[in-house]
Amino acid sequence: MWNRRLTLTILLALLLTIVPVHAQDAGGGGTLIGAFDVGPGGAPKAIPFMDTAGRTWLSKIWSPLISWNADMSALEPQLATEWSSNEDSTVWTFKLREGVLWHDGETFDADDVVFSLNLALNPDAATNFPGFSSLSRESVASITAVDPYTVEIVLNSPNPRLPFFMIFAWVLPEHALKDLNPADYQTTDWFFTNPIGTGPFMHDEYVADQFWALVPNPNYFRGAPKLDRLINRYFADETSALLALESGEINFTYVSGDVALRLQEEGTYQIYDGPSGVTNYFIFNLRNPVFQDVRVRQAFLYAIDRKAIAETVLKGTATVVPCISAFPSMWPDASELNDYAYDPAKASELLQEAGYDTSASFELMTYYNNQFHLDAMAAQQAFLAAVGINIVPVAQDVPTYNSYFYTGEGWDISYRGVGVNVGNFPFSFYEPGGQPTTDGAPLAGQLFPELQALIDAARIESDADAYLGLLQDICKFQNENALEGYMWTAVRFGAGTSNLQDFYWFPAAGGGPYEDHAELWSVTE
């Protein structure tokens, strides 16, 4: 009898510990729990100027001057309402939004912007990641507050694309951080104990490695958010986040293309998508004479049925690209482009003409370790083998890959990705001293003066249309010369529960930031 009682007591105690996993807040817009930092575009710890990604979360607390719009096709005013430059793009004026309050009630003004931009450029504080802090310090002559709502930036050299650099220029409160030694910026716990921003949500609770909870900012400049609470839950990987989504514990997460398709078929989730902004391609090491022959490079493109891989292996989640640019607006008219349609006979012919040694074997180096790209590389390997090009995919982790890739030595071909958009064209990948870099390496710009001339012209072109025209000319040149083995650009997906209202999120390159109107988000019961 006693044993039974004991057993029942233990069972009862265990049952009592099983509380509802996800108790929704009553009233208001509810509590939204998301895996903001899972998948590409996420960063496990979000500190302005310190992370290469994670900006979909950062933008909930802090605001930049400018962000992308929702589909990352144009710029969207945030704390800056308008911006303009002089004729040669050396003096830029940013008009700031008036009436914005910090989370602690202090007034936001131009001094905060000057403080933040100087902090971003301070080598002791920031980490030189993309954006304003990646500008050469020598290129900025001064940053001044003309009046409480006007900031002027004077550059030592023209930069027509400066507004794009402002996308990552988070504005921090001078009144709260002015006494912080810039060298202590990276080790301070201020960002997790008492962060103050101008974003739609305010800090509530941070539990390291587990979650970060925010509450609405009633003074947000686009209006008070509807949600009662917004929580970023941390996961070690995509699978565990997906399991949490399917168990009903969280409202959204990043999902890979195949999972997005499965969830879409199930019909119980909302699927969000957006451009990765990343072009996947083969980069040929032009120091190897084999790849200096345009016929060999073109043979790679003819040999691989890129469209078939994109449609079958990548399940239609990727689009074939004609050049390094990921967005069609940066491509010239299709009639000016070679589509390199699958033609193994043509590939064999080109290889024969070039005297290509079919007994040669090259390692295809990559830092991609996910199944999406590994499957694609296996397909590429099979297509190339059919015409006598032998490649062996070798996947490594990012530090290992980077440790030799940028030396320009120890590799012949690499399958990789590069973020390319109108405001962020990787010019330096084609220039002497650029990437991959070693002095005297025969890089594309050196081998192709015509390309270098286009790059030089694009760098200083201040007219938007003319600039786009130059990018299209570069695309045409790349396509014609098969400078690289251009493959595809993928779509990225997010999956959310069906009770999310006015919600928009996708794992943008680097996490954006893009305008997602988080103040409108809500969760129904």
Partner 1 sequence: MLKYLVRRILISAPVLLMITIIIFGLTEIAPGDVVDYFRSPDLEMTAEAEAALRTRFGLDQPAAVRYFKWLGNVARGDFGYRFTDGEPVAVVIGRRLNASLLLMGTALAIGVLVGVPLGVFIGQRQYSFWDFSLTGFSFLGISTPSFVTGIVALLVFAINLRWFPAGGMRPVDSEATLGSTIHHLLLPSIVLSLNFIATFMRYTRFSMLEVVRLDYVNTARAKGLSPTAVTWRHIVPNAILPVITVIGLSVPTLVVGAVFTETIFSWPGMGSLYLDAVRGRDVPLLMGMNLVIALFVLGANILTDVAYAVVDPRIRYD
Residues within window 270-289 making contact with partner 1, judged by CB under 8 A? 278
Among 146, 207, 345, 464, binds partner 1 (CB under 8 A): 207
User: CB atoms < 10 A from the CB of 141, how many?
Assistant: 12
What 3-state DSSP class applies to 152? strand
Q: Which of 414, 456, 457, 412 is nearest to 434 (CA)?
A: 456
CA nearest 44: which of 236, 189, 186, 213? 236
What is the CA angle 402-407-413, rounded to 5?
A: 75
Nearer to partner 1, 234 or 284 (CB): 234
Which tokens in the block code for residue 118? 């100087």
Min dist. Cβ of residue 218 to partner 1 (A) = 21
Q: According to CB under 8 A, which one of 61, 227, 418, 487 is a site residue for partner 1? A: 418
How, if at all, do strands 91-96 and 80-85 pair?
antiparallel
Q: Which is nearer to partner 1, 28 or 130 (CB)?
A: 130
CB of 407 to partner 1, least distance (A): 11
Answer for which of 194, 402, 498, 524 binds partner 1 (CB under 8 A) is: 402
Pick the closer one to partner 1 by CB: 248 or 440: 248
Choosing from 244, 296, 451, 458, the residue that interacts with partner 1 (CB under 8 A) is 244
Residue placing its CB nearer to partner 1 in the complex, 17 or 359: 17
The answer to whether the beta carbons of residues 501 and 316 sit under 8 Å apart is no
Binds partner 1 (CB under 8 A): choice among 7, 10, 44, 358: 44
Neighbours of 450 (CB within 10 A): 12
Within 131-190, the residues that bind partner 1 by CB under 8 A are 134, 136-137, 186-187
Least separation in angstroms between CB 22 and partner 1:
7
Here the contacts of 404-411 (C-beta below 8 Å, separation 24 or greater) are 405/365, 405/436, 406/435, 406/436, 406/437, 407/436, 407/437, 407/438, 408/285, 408/287, 408/436, 408/437, 408/438, 408/441, 409/287, 409/438, 411/285, 411/363, 411/365
* 203 is a site residue for partner 1 (CB under 8 A): no
Q: In this chain, which of 157, 435, 462, 501 binds partner 1, going by CB under 8 A? A: 435
Per the CB < 8 A criterion, the answer to whether 76 and 68 are in contact is: yes
268 binds partner 1 (CB under 8 A): no
Name the residue nearer to partner 1 (CB basis): 303 or 413: 413
Asked whether position 398 contacts partner 1 by CB under 8 A, the answer is yes
Residue 133 C-beta: closest distance to partner 1, Å: 8
Tell whether residue 429 is a contact of partner 1 (CB under 8 A): yes
Give SS3 for 181.
Answer: coil
Q: How far apart are the first and last CA of the chain?
A: 45
- CA pair distance 202, 179, nearest whole angstrom: 22
Among positions 68, 234, 356, 505, the unique one binding partner 1 when judged by CB under 8 A: 234
Please state, in angstroms and rounded to a whole number, the distance separating the CA atoms of residues 43 and 122: 22
Stretch that binds partner 1, among 67-75, 195-203, 210-218, 449-457 (CB under 8 A): 210-218
Q: Which of 82, 147, 266, 397 binds partner 1 (CB under 8 A)?
A: 397
SS (H, E, C) 20-44: CCCCCCCCCCCEEEECCCCCCCCCC
Site for partner 1 in 459-518 (CB under 8 A): 509-510
Report if residue 339 touches partner 1, rule: CB under 8 A: no
Cα torsion for 422, 485, 449, 433, to the nearest 10°? 80
Binding mask 46-85 toward partner 1 (x if CB under 8 A, else -) reads -x--x-x---------------------------------
Q: Which is nearer to partner 1, 62 or 221 (by Cβ)? A: 62
- Candidates 120-128, 150-158, 340-348, 514-522 — which segment interacts with partner 1 by CB under 8 A? 120-128
